[in-house]
Amino acid sequence: MIGIPPCNPEKLNSNNPEAIHAGWLLDGTGAPARRNVRIRIDQGFIQSMRPADPPSGKDRSGVLDLTGHTVMPALIDSHVHLFLSGTGPPELRRRQLEAEFDAAIDWIRSHARACLQCGIAAVRDGGDRRALALRFRRNHEMGNAPLHIRAAGWAWHREGRYGRFIGRPVPEGSSLSGAIRADDSDADHIKIIQSGINSLRVFGRVGPAQFSLPEMREAVIAAAERGLDAMVHANGEAAVRMALKAGCRSLEHGYFMGEENLRRMAERKIFWVPTAGAMLAYTEAGALGGNEAEVSARTLEHQLGQMARAGELGVPIAVGTDAGSPGVEHGRALRRELDLLIQAGFSIEAAVCCASRNGARLLRLSTLGTLRPGKRASLIAVPGGVAALPGSLRAISLCIYDGVVWGSSVKDGGGEG
């Protein structure tokens, strides 16, 4: 139907050099798309990437002809909650919020699988109260499936404040940094909830910060002592300012953070994960009361404005969907987040870079993010030219993860079936 031969994993894994002919190539760095590039793959590694004419005649042998396709790095979702589905009946959400590991495992597996089907090779989990995603990662519950999972375990929040469903409160008598130091889990990063969520009733209203600047500073130091980065949830000027001054690695959401904070992030090269699709999902939710639909639409507009400004200032944006949030579906949500970056004025090259190179840098996954000779082949192909993106991600034609063909002609809709 899309005119490519079925992928043969053995062929691509053989010792013989094999090649892919890409009609268009996005290398993940944000550089302009290139036309007609021959990618040679040897033992799962990219050997060379050179301009070439589309294959014809004898030249076809051993070449996977993707002349009518765009090839790009496998994608990265820098903010998910694997324990929640995001969509489905309210009853499902209630069960997922209460589930113990054995009950949650199939859900988590299906969400992880949905990511792979949507071209996503790595996710960073922002936490769940029981640290289910971390345990899932630790137990290798995916078997050989090639999804890289970075998990926080649970998020830390202040007792009585926002964050109970994805986190644990700092124990009474302890400090945030003390709690981080006392935790001996094998978490991949530390998640801190530094503010509430912005109001859906009053435009621009955000709650106060949960932790003071000295508390945040100590917390980032405590995380660093464990060799871990801090992923900080914050909205509003004050809460975001403290997170940035404290030296967090990434700032999550950042609604209404303001110009000064954007400049600070650009200067210090702190990653921003705007999760605008979560707000888009609120604007689409049918059952909103009062003026919530209007407020969420204005909030989304405002966030898109901040994203546009971030692009001008050179803030490193990493694409994160907050999948698991109401209305935000694992895997497919990434396409919507790319759409929103484009709405905010990003080129497709720049948007893909946010979901590939920037994500790989944020997660410190050096094997992913860009396509260049010497790197492991982790790439996807979509039908059509660059202009067909991000919509063409609905019909991914090829996924190679960690040098191995994982699937081909994957159709959207296969996610959680």
Q: How far is the CB of 275 from Zn ion (least distance, A)?
A: 7
Q: Which CB atom, from 84 or from 371, has the smaller least distance to Zn ion?
A: 84
Q: How far is CA 262 from the centre of its chain?
A: 20
Gap between the Cα atoms of 303 and 267, Å rounded: 20
Kindly indicate which of the ranges 90-98, 122-130, 343-351, 387-395 contains the residues binding Zn ion, using the contact rule CB under 5 A: 122-130
DSSP state at residue 393: G
Read off the tokens for 146. Answer: 């090639």
Q: How far is the CB of 325 from Zn ion (least distance, A)?
A: 7
β 45-51/34-42 pair status: antiparallel
β 404-408/398-401 pair status: antiparallel
Helix axis angle, 333-343 to 292-313, nearest 10°:
70
Q: Which CB atom, from 18 or from 322, has the smaller least distance to Zn ion?
A: 322
Q: Which residues inside 61-120 make contact with Zn ion, applying CB under 5 A?
A: none
Read off the tokens for 357. Answer: 């190179």
Beta-carbon contacts of 103 under 8 Å, excluding residues fewer than 6 positions away, are 95
Q: Which CB atom, from 77 or from 322, has the smaller least distance to Zn ion?
A: 322
The helix (H) or strand (E) run that includes residue 231 is: strand 230-234
Q: Which CB atom, from 73 or from 163, has the smaller least distance to Zn ion?
A: 163
Phi, then psi, of 125 in degrees rounded to 5 = -90, 135
Q: How many residues bind Zn ion (CB under 5 A)?
A: 2
Q: Which CB atom, from 69 or from 191, has the smaller least distance to Zn ion?
A: 191
Q: Which CB atom, from 126 or from 311, has the smaller least distance to Zn ion?
A: 126
Kindly indicate which of the ranges 124-132, 186-194, 292-300, 343-351 contains the residues binding Zn ion, using the contact rule CB under 5 A: 124-132
Q: Which residues inside 294-323 make contact with Zn ion, applying CB under 5 A?
A: 322
Gap between the Cα atoms of 340 and 171, Å rounded: 39
Q: Which residue is nearest to Zn ion (CB)?
A: 126
Gap between the Cα atoms of 184 and 22, Å rounded: 46
Beta-carbon contacts of 155 under 8 Å, excluding residues fewer than 6 positions away, are 126, 127, 163, 166, 167, 168, 191, 192, 193, 233
Residue for token digits 């605008």?
276
Q: How far is the CB of 81 from Zn ion (least distance, A)?
A: 6
Catalogue the E-assigned strands of 290-410: 379-383, 398-401, 404-408
Q: How far is the CB of 15 from Zn ion (least distance, A)?
A: 43
Kindly indicate which of the ranges 105-113, 121-129, 144-152, 182-190 contains the residues binding Zn ion, using the contact rule CB under 5 A: 121-129
Tell me: cis bond preceding 51? Omega within 30 of 0 counts. no
Q: Which CB atom, from 26 or from 99, has the smaller least distance to Zn ion?
A: 99
Read off the tokens for 288. Answer: 């909103």
Q: How far is the CB of 313 from Zn ion (least distance, A)?
A: 24
Q: Which CB atom, from 322 or from 329, has the smaller least distance to Zn ion?
A: 322
The three-class DSSP label of residue 415 is: coil
| Residue 125 interacting with Zn ion (CB under 5 A) | no
Q: How far is the CB of 334 from Zn ion (least distance, A)?
A: 14
Beta-carbon contacts of 393 under 8 Å, excluding residues fewer than 6 positions away, are 118, 119, 334, 335, 338, 382, 412
Q: How far is the CB of 139 from Zn ion (least distance, A)?
A: 23
Q: How far is the CB of 310 from Zn ion (least distance, A)?
A: 19
Q: How far is the CB of 109 from Zn ion (least distance, A)?
A: 20
Kindly indicate which of the ranges 12-20, 33-41, 126-134, 393-401 contains the residues binding Zn ion, using the contact rule CB under 5 A: 126-134
Catalogue the E-assigned strands of 26-62: 34-42, 45-51
Q: Which CB atom, from 136 or from 406, has the smaller least distance to Zn ion?
A: 136
Q: How far is the CB of 154 from Zn ion (least distance, A)?
A: 12
Q: Which CB atom, from 40 or from 168, has the smaller least distance to Zn ion?
A: 168
Which of 23, 28, 30, 126 touches Zn ion by CB under 5 A? 126
Question: Where along the sequence are the contacts to Zn ion (CB under 5 A)?
Answer: 126, 322
